[in-house]
Amino acid sequence: MPAYRSPRGTRDLLPDERATWTEVERTAADLAARYGYREMEVPIFERAEVFERGVGEGTDVVEKEMFRLVPRTEESEAWALRPEATAGVVRAYIQHGMQTWPQPVKVSTIGPMFRYDRPQAGRWRQFRQWNVEAIGDPGPAVDAELIELGLRFYRDVGLDDVEVLVNSIGDPACRPAYLERLVTHYREREGLLPELERRRLETNPLRLLDSKDPAMAAINATAPHAVDALCAACGDHFAAVRDHLDALGIRYRIEPGLVRGLDYYTRTAFEYYRSGAEGQQQALGGGGRYDGLVELLGGRPTPGIGFAIGLDRVILTRSEAGAPDVPPTPPLAVVVGADPDATAARLRIATDLRAAGLAVRADLARRKLGRQLEAAVKDGARFAVIVGDELADGKVGLRDLDGASQKPVELEDLVPILRRKAGG
RNA sequence: GUGGCCUUAGCUCAAUCGGCAGAGCACUGGAUUGUGGCUCCAGAGGUUACGGGUUCAAGCCCCGUAGGCCACCCCA
């Protein structure tokens, strides 16, 4: 029982595990670049207001799950660790006058998010997300582009059976009227509502739609859907999004009960699930359009859309699906020596090889040659450079650890030989 | 934030009715002194998650706390 351990809901990514992460994050960054989304970064904490206004005061994310930082003085600004990335990216868009850049501004970012929630498998207090945002494009084509990008990412990291659920939740033109109809629907059945749902009817009636309470199934079956109550503009937009998805040959499911948990979403909303593993906890990612967000945070009215993919869940799901871990890259060679104490010679030779761009470990522990070779093999190195008495003649032994063959090599020939081996 | 199950060495797990805390793997060293994965030997590693209580005696029984997992809730 160590005195200290990682805080609840956080974890250490040790080298064996981190190699898989590096690969997954590289896949994400490469895809973003290939699709024309440029990498950027925003702070991991912001004025709490950015999230309160951006994500929404009434959302669980802000109300219950936000990591607020204790102010150091009375006058200090109220800060919070970011529970999601979009609000900060939009804040940066406004701050740096990106509306003067060629529109749309397409960006991508990877980093940790923080939510003070009770941990569970697939749910952490610190987790990493890949975010992709297109700000300044009203769609509908870019909506389909993003949905397809997410699906390609899952496929590229080895998750073949991810499906996307799509919905449209309207905009300020049609949502108020729809909400009124929805609330009326529930009010007429108020006596049948569970206590929790009755309370939510006041704060966030949309959420009743995806309630998993069995008592709600019958009530929701007859509830009006946002997709059926869209205004002409939203209806046209949603139809065009579907046309674009069809044109790309993407299989998707329209899910009228799909409601996103953050207030800023308008029109297109989508979530990714591993097939057959639906249910909120299993969401691998999600996103949607946020046409009102830039204005809400103090900018000019600007449409936007983006998605967030939870990398922890992607990696968890990947290994549950039997995908092999990515092994850490082993050194090409390890420099070992007959004289355990001759560490300076081993270090000097390794340093020269590294200066030539080769991945080389030096065995600097003062143990006998047999142990050094044993460690080199366990390291996965392909070669051992063996330093012994021949060094006086400018020679070392180059041993092939797979074939167990060995030959003397002039010190100055070592770099070209190893370069050739590394290349082939 | 609510309820349930769990916690013994770095990891996976033993320990009979409450009676001297162990094994395998991993780690370090050795096997007559310059050659690896196997084998053999040895070593190190524990306040049994933490804090109380009951008892002659607690890893085991009771209470609390922390952490993990599961179901809610919610998100990714």
DSSP bridge partners of A287? A270, A307
| Lowest mean pLDDT across A37-46, A200-209, A245-254, A362-371 | A200-209
A77-125 pLDDT per residue, tens: 889 999 999 999 999 999 999 999 999 999 999 999 999 988 888 889 9
Question: What integer pLDDT is reported at residue A72 of this predicted model?
Answer: 78
Nearest nucleotide (C1') to the CA of residue A129? B76
Closest CA to A297 of A85, A94, A40: A94
User: Residue A345, CB, less than 7 Å from strand B?
Assistant: no
User: Residue A397, CB, less than 7 Å from strand B?
Assistant: yes
**Å separating the CA of residue A315 from the C1' of nucleotide B49:** 28
* Most confidently predicted of A143-152, A166-175, A179-188: A143-152
Nearest nucleotide (C1') to the CA of residue A404? B36
**Å separating the CA of residue A1 from the C1' of nucleotide B15:** 20
**Å separating the CA of residue A316 from the C1' of nucleotide B28:** 34
Element spanning A310, H or E? strand A304-310
How would residue A222 be classed by pLDDT, with cut points 50, 70 and 90? confident
Q: Over chain A, what is the mean pLDDT?
A: 89
User: Residue A277, CB, less than 7 Å from strand B?
Assistant: no
For strand B, the positions having any atom within 7 A of a protein Cβ are 1-3, 27-31, 33-37, 47, 49-50, 66-76
Question: What integer pLDDT is reported at residue A229 of this predicted model?
Answer: 85
Q: For residues A372 and A293, give the distance between their C-alpha atoms in angstroms, rounded to a whole number.
A: 60
User: Residue A308, CB, less than 7 Å from strand B?
Assistant: yes
A308-344 pLDDT per residue, tens: 999 999 999 888 888 888 888 899 999 999 999 899 9
| Lowest mean pLDDT across A188-192, A247-251, A287-291 | A188-192
**Å separating the CA of residue A12 from the C1' of nucleotide B22:** 30
Nearest nucleotide (C1') to the CA of residue A374? B36
A291-309 pLDDT per residue, tens: 999 999 999 999 999 999 9
DSSP 8-state secondary structure symbol assigned to residue A85: S
* Most confidently predicted of A3-12, A110-119, A201-210, A269-278: A110-119
Question: What integer pLDDT is reported at residue A321 of this predicted model?
Answer: 83
Q: What percent of chain A has pLDDT over 70?
A: 96
Closest CA to A307 of A46, A9, A31, A20: A31
**Å separating the CA of residue A1 from the C1' of nucleotide B63:** 22
Question: What integer pLDDT is reported at residue A219 of this predicted model?
Answer: 78
Peptide bond into A119 cis (omega under 30): no
Sign of CA dihedral A342, A345, A348, A352: negative
User: Residue A213, CB, less than 7 Å from strand B?
Assistant: yes
Q: For residues A247 and A108, give the distance between their C-alpha atoms in angstroms, rounded to a whole number.
A: 25
Residue with tokens 């070669």: A383
Higher pLDDT, A62 or A71: A62
**pLDDT score of A61 more than 90:** no
How would residue A245 be classed by pLDDT, with cut points 50, 70 and 90? very high
| Lowest mean pLDDT across A31-40, A154-163, A200-209, A305-314 | A200-209
**Å separating the CA of residue A381 from the C1' of nucleotide B10:** 24
